[in-house]
Amino acid sequence: SAVISQKPSRDICQRGTSLTIQCQVDSQVTMMFWYRQQPGQSLTLIATANQGSEATYESGFVIDKFPISRPNLTFSTLTVSNMSPEDSSIYLCSGKDANQETQYFGPGTRLLVL
Amino acid sequence: KQEVTQIPAALSVPEGENLVLNCSFTDSAIYNLQWFRQDPGKGLTSLLLIQSSQREQTSGRLNASLDKSSGRSTLYIAASQPGDSATYLCAVMNTGFQKLVFGTGTRLLVSP
């Protein structure tokens, strides 16, 4: 199994600013994903973080708003840019090996935008 | 587009009861289905994974079934305990993709 950590665990930010969330996996994983969980709702996939290349974004999410980096097989960052109160959510990082079925999740980053 | 729905949205039971959580999905072309548990501040924990070719999986007091043709899965929890209190999410992975589509979740409260 993989253990995933995220930093920060929570933050309160002012509108118009940006926040970068870090995700660290304790073992190499083929695939990493970023999810958003808005208040009272389920998880929605933002993008798949690809090592050494641009992330693959889901419909409704764009790189200018959510730039993602993945420099190696154990680390990724998600930036929430030019934040507005509507960005207040929990952001979760996830990892999965292509040869395994189970997907592992980090504890999430709880973001509040004022 | 795959859509996953869970019923009920919330459930409150006394300790010791057996209970069933339901999950339905619109596209039966799934690769697998997973049940997760979400605790506040602790992310998601994978409970059970059922391959599309399987009918059920068991782990301790948990049993998950899958009826792919009807687009349904159930999570059965036997002899519930207060420690089972959490939000339970089901998620499906469609054939040909590596992405999970999550359900709306069932918030479970087991009271002593």
pLDDT of residue A103: 87
Between positions 47 and 66 of B, the ones with CB within 8 A of A are 49, 51
- The pLDDT tens digits for B89-100 are 999 998 777 789
B24 to chain A, any CB pair closer than 8 A? The answer is no
What CA–CA distance (Å, rounded) separates A37 from A92? 8
A89 chain-B contacts, CB cut-off 8 A: none
B/e letters for A79-98, b = 16+ CB within 10 Å, e = fewer, are: ebbebeeebbbbbbbbbbbe
Of the ranges A41-50, B40-49, B53-62, B81-90, which one carries the lowest mean pLDDT score?
A: B40-49
B45 chain-A contacts, CB cut-off 8 A: 105
Give the number of other CB atoms < 10 A from CB of residue A38: 13
DSSP H helices in chain B: none
A9 to chain B, any CB pair closer than 8 A? The answer is yes
- The pLDDT tens digits for A42-92 are 899 999 998 888 999 999 999 999 999 999 999 999 999 999 999 999 999
Q: Which two tokens stand for residue A54?
A: 């641009």
Report whether pLDDT(A11) > 80: yes
Q: Which residues pair with B30 in a beta bridge?
A: B94
What CA–CA distance (Å, rounded) separates B12 from B50? 26
pLDDT of residue B43: 82
A4 to chain B, any CB pair closer than 8 A? The answer is yes
